[in-house]
A = this chain, B = another copy of it.
Amino acid sequence: MASFHRTAAILSIGDELTLGQTLDTNSRWLSDQLLSRGIVTIEHATVPDDRNATASAISRLAAADIVIVTGGLGPTADDLTRQALADAMSDQLIEDDQALQQITAWFASRSATMREINKVQALRPSRGLALPNPNGTAPGIHGSVHAHDVYCLPGPPHEMKPMFEAQVVPNLRPARKVATRALHTFGLGESEIAARLGPLMDRGRNPVVGTTASQGVVSCRIRYESDATDSSAATAIAEIESQIHSHLGAHIFGAESQTLPSVILNLLESRREKLATAESCTGGLLGQLITDIPGASAAYLGGWVTYTNELKHDLVGVPETNFHPGGPGAVSRETAIAMAVGGLERSGADHCLAITGIAGPDGGTPEKPVGTVWIARASVGLLASASGGPVPPRTEARRLQINADRTTVRDYSAKAALAMLRFYLIGKSETTMMRQVK
């Protein structure tokens, strides 16, 4: 056995992967898990359901200190990982009594009939170890190739992930500690962030800072590596985090698993305020993003999808004249604000976000090309009016120009609306925080 696990390799097995029918998400997840525990993945490989290709890949990848193999543990003739691992170990398969009992129990607990074919799943190399699978019929296997650890886990993520956590993590022997911290921003591009952070992002520093961009959110990832006895990680990370905050300020909306919707729901909940939405081109996406968060009902009331002009008028009270020739039209500051104010008044919420735009690919004009989107916010007035009459809502609106495909236009619009509300809730003027379209 290698005394430490410094490096890892991930092998995914399956024709459906190499042929491009299924997207492999296991390798990314496993690499991320390993890195957070101090082990660097040096290669991902994917091979078909082929005994020789799998055996030779395991043997080659066992140059790394630990190899994680996923897939190919099912009961059918094209599930060959057991046999390939035995080949790479120059070993024979034997039936594991305990594994067979677990498989039998799995079927019994579901009142299902275990077929003869499922017995093959109890096989393991004679010098290997079967790993119980609480969520399926395929046990995992722990083996050793070139004196390096090889863990074979089933392919379905809901079976693989709990087994990795229960069977692999406790046996990891990292040589060093890795501490990480992710800070998430919205509204700045990756190159703008790089320019602001400057030498903080130089390679070879420790902590090292990198950026990744995903669907409009740019994340700064701090990584600090140290030997196992070092206790300075928290201080080193906090120091860099504070420098990043001083460069990016309120553009940082959250850290780690926080998202724009989760941060906004927390802000609203702490203020005991409620949110509603009125959507046109996003068609429900904004509400969907908000309600992705468990417990969203504590601050989100609901809203409208007013996809047609008629519903914009009938449901949230946008004046019909907006849609007449010479009027501002459905995609305009006036309509976005009318949607936000109408939604605010009809929902009883404290804030209403509205989105109307041209998501494409068709429907653009020279004045309002595809990607033109108006977002607006209306919030209940803060002060009682002097006359004692109704307090007018406080509103703002802005035009976005998103030169991208339909999916990106919609996603960015929804997030920009959330960002607009966040800047208001934290007392920042969004016009100074987000790029303006002339």
Contact of A19 among B17, B41, B48, B297 (CB under 8 A): B41
Q: Which of A141-149, A251-259, A283-291 contacts the other chain? A: A283-291
Task: Give the CA-CA distance A290 to B12 in the complex, in Å.
Answer: 34
Q: Contacts A28-B24, A30-B20 hold; do A285 and B288 have CB atoms under 8 A apart?
A: yes
Q: Which residues of B contact A20 (CB under 8 A)?
A: 27-35, 41
A425 CB within 8 Å of chain B: no
Q: Which of A162-170, A300-308, A385-393 contacts the other chain? A: A300-308
| Interface bracket on A | 35 or more
A121 CB within 8 Å of chain B: no
Q: Contacts A42-B47, A203-B78, A288-B285 hold; do A277 and B302 have CB atoms under 8 A apart?
A: no
Contact A42 B35 (CB under 8 A): no
Q: Which residues of B contact A291 (CB under 8 A)?
A: 281-285, 305, 307, 359, 410
Contact A18 B41 (CB under 8 A): yes
Contact A40 B17 (CB under 8 A): no
Contact A277 B305 (CB under 8 A): yes
Contact A284 B294 (CB under 8 A): no
Contact of A306 among B43, B44, B282, B302 (CB under 8 A): B302
A179 CB within 8 Å of chain B: no
Q: Which residues of B contact A45 (CB under 8 A)?
A: 43-46
Residue in B closest to A303 when the chains form the complex, CB atoms? B305
Instruction: Add 20 more A-B contacts to A295-B362, A314-B346 (CB < 8 A).
Output: A12-B44, A20-B27, A20-B28, A20-B41, A23-B25, A43-B47, A44-B44, A45-B45, A279-B284, A283-B291, A283-B296, A283-B300, A284-B284, A291-B305, A291-B307, A294-B359, A297-B307, A301-B307, A302-B315, A311-B347
